[in-house]
Structure 1
Amino acid sequence: MSRTVRASTTQTRDKLIRAAEEIFARDGVDGGQMRDIVRSAGQSNPSAVQYHFGSRRGLLDAVMALHHERTDSVLTGLVKTSRGSAVEPAVEGVEGLDGQEAVRALVLAQAEELGTERGRRRLCVAAQLSHESGIRSRVPHPELRGSVHWDVIQRMDDVLPDGLAEPLRRERLDLALTLISAALADRARRSLAGVEHLTGDQIFLAELVSMTTALLRATPPAA
C-alpha cells in the first residue's frame, strides 16, 4: 500500500470515527444509523463502515478505544503524581493508591474529556456502555485488559465495607462506574447544548468523588 493510499485510508477512518462520535452521542449507540454516519463523514460508498471497521460494533469499538486511550494516558500521569511532594516521592503504579484516591483519579481522568467537543461526545457514548467494563465478572473488557484504567477500577474495591459479599462488591463497583459515567455524560450533554451548569467544574468533580465514595462505603443491607 502506497503512502498516499495509507494517508487517505487514515483520513477516511478518522472522518468516520468523528461522525460516529456525533451520531452515537446524539441518537444513541443503538439508534444511530450507519447511513447518517457515512453521509456525515462525506463518504459516497454506503459500505464505508464495513470496509474500514468490519461492522457497526467495530466502529463503536474504535470510538471507545480513543476514550480509553485518553483516560489511560491521563490516569498514568495522575497515578505517578498523586502523592508526589518534597518529602514523599510520586507513587509508581496504582499500588500506592488507597480506594478513595482511586475514585478521585478515575473521575479526574475521565473528566478531561469535558475539555473538548469530541471528548464530550465520547463521554455521552461511554455512559451508554459503562456496563461493559467487565467488573461484574472481574474479567476486564478487551480494551481495558492490562491498562492502568482497569487497575484503578480494581483499587476502588478498597473503599467497600469489610465483609461485603463478593456479588455485592462487584455490583457496587459497577454502580459506581455507572454513576461516574452518567454524571459526566449529563454534564457533557449540557455543555454541548450550551446549557449553563449549576456549579463550576471543581465543585462538581469534588462532589462526584464524594458521592461515589459514599455509595461504595454505604452500610450493607441486612441479610
Structure 2
Amino acid sequence: MSQAKETRRRKSVEAQTAPNRATATIEAIIEAAERLWGAHGIEGASLREISIAAGSANKSSIGYHFGDKQGLIRAIFEARIPALEDRRRPLLAAAEAEGKLDDPITLLRIAFLPVFEEVDRHGRHSFAAFLRAINRFAQWDGRTGIQQLAPLASAAFNILRQKVSHMPQDLVEARLRLANEICYGAITDQDDNPPATGPDPVLATKMFEDALAASAHLMLLG
C-alpha cells in the first residue's frame, strides 16, 4: 500500500472513531459528576476533580463539551430524565384509570418511584444523591427547564399543589423541598452499607414507602 493510501486510510479510521471517543468522554464526565456531586454536594467537587475522576487527560474537556458547571448539571438531567419519564407514563395512566390522582401518596410515587428504581452500574442511587444535592444548591438556575424536560413529574407535583392551594404558596414550596429531601434521603439510605452486606432491598423498599407516607402527611398538615 502506498504512503498516500495509508495516510488516507488512517485519517478515515480516525474520523470514524473520534465521535465514539467524544461520546465516551461525555458519558464518563456525566457519571463522574453525578457521583461526586451526589457524594459531596455541588460545591464539594470542582470541575477539575470531576475531569480527573472521569479519566480525562484534557483539563478543558468539561468546558469544551458542557460550557460550565450549569451546563454540566443540565447535561446530567438530560441524560437521566427521559428514561424516568418513560417509567412515569404507565404510573400516571394507572393512577388516572383507578381514580387515584387525588391521592398524595400516589402522586408522590409517580414522581419518586422511577428515581428509586434508577441505579448506577455499581447498584447505587447516584442520581437520587445528585438530586438531593441539587435540592440544596440555591445557585442552580435551570429548574424551569428541568420541569419542561420532566412534564409527567411536574404534572404530579402540580396536582399535589392544587390539593393544598388554600395554603400559602411559600409554605407549599418549602414543604415540597422538604418532601424531596425526605424521599431522596430514603432512596439513598442503603447505599452506604458495607460492601460485605450490601443494600437490604426489603428495608430499602420499606424506607421508601415510609418516606412517601411521611411526605404526603407533611403536605396535608394544616
Establish whether TM, by shorter chain, passes 0.5. yes
Unpaired segments ≥5 residues, structure 1? 134-138
SS of equivalent residue, structure 1 residue 42: coil
Structure showing the higher helix proportion among its residues: 2
Q: Could you say what secondary structure the match of 1:77 adopts?
A: helix
Aligned length: 204
Deviation at 1:176, TM superposition (A): 1.9
Distance 1:132 1:72 in 2: 23
1:106 maps onto 2:119 in alignment? no
Equivalent residue letter for 2:152: V
TM-score, length of structure 2 as denominator length: 0.76
Change (3 A) 1:37 1:192: farther
Kindly tell me: are residues 97 and 201 of structure 1, through their superposed partners in 2, closer, same or farther at Cα, counting changes over 3 Å? same
Partner residue of 2:161?
157
Give yes or no for the alignment of 1:47 onto 2:60: yes
How many Å separate the matches in 1 of 2:220 and 2:64? 47
> 2:217 maps to which residue?
214
The CA distance in 1 between the partners of 2:24 and 2:39, in whole Å, is: 23
Equivalent pair of 2:34/2:76 in contact (CA under 8 Å):
yes
- Structure 2 vs 1, CA of residues 105 and 192 (structure 1 numbering), >3 Å: closer, same or farther? farther
Q: Is 2:130 aligned against 1:125?
A: yes
Separation (CA, whole Å) in 2 of partners of 1:83 and 1:15: 39
1:36 & 1:180 partners in 2: Cα distance?
A: 28
For 1:142, the equivalent position in structure 2 comes to: 145
Deviation at 1:167, TM superposition (A): 2.8
Instruction: Please list, as runs of the form range in 1=range in 2, the aligned pairs for 1:186-197 lying within 5 A after superposition.
Output: 186-190=189-193, 197=200
Q: Give the share of equivalent positions with the same residue, in percent.
A: 19
Tell me if 1:65 matches 2:78: yes
Provide structure 2 residue ranges, at least 5 long, that are not aligned to the other structure: 1-14
CA distance in 1, matches of 2:123, 2:206: 23
RMSD of aligned Cα (Å): 3.2
Residue 36 of structure 2 corresponds to residue 23 of structure 1: yes
TM-score of the pair, normalised by structure 1: 0.75
Which structure 1 residue ranges, 4+ long, deviate > 4 Å from structure 2? 189-199
Find the structure with the greater CA-based Rg. 2
d(CA) in 2 for partners of 1:116, 1:123: 14
